[in-house]
């Protein structure tokens, strides 16, 4: 599995932010009692003319397992060519 990009070097135990030229991605830990998932992923576009994020993209997304969060998020970022400048999966 790919490792976290350097720009995502925040605390994975509480939250994580990945900044790319087109979007900001945040991953937040949810309380243990939440039944939708342990992780919440949100994506916001810096400029909707560059990349429009809507309900079809399925955000926000909820996950139970860290490995699934990272695998699916990295696959989505690869499909959209959203890696931070100078970094690749």
d(CA 38, CA 20): 24
**Between 56 and 11, whose confidence is greater?**
56
Among residues 17, 12, 19, the alpha carbon closest in space to that of 87 is found at 19
pLDDT for res 28: 92
Tens digits of residue pLDDT in 17-63: 888 888 889 999 998 888 999 999 999 888 777 677 776 777 889 99
> What per-residue confidence (pLDDT) applies to 87?
58
List C-alpha distances in Å: 7 to 4, 19, 71, 87.
8, 7, 17, 9
CB 60 within 8 A of CB 76: no
66-82 pLDDT, tens per residue? 899 989 998 988 888 88
DSSP 2: P
Question: What pLDDT does residue 3 have?
Answer: 43
- pLDDT exceeds 60 at position 6: no
Instruction: Give the model's pLDDT for residue 89.
Output: 55
């Amino acid at each position: 599995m790919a490792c976290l990009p350097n720009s995502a070097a925040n605390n994975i135990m509480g939250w994580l932010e990945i900044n790319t030229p087109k979007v900001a991605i945040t991953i937040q830990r949810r309380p243990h009692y939440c039944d939708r998932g342990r992780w919440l992923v949100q994506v916001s576009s810096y400029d909707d003319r560059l990349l429009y994020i809507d309900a079809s993209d399925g955000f926000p997304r909820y996950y139970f397992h860290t490995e699934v969060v990272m695998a699916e998020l990295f696959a989505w970022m690869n499909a959209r060519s959203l890696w931070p400048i100078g970094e690749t999966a």
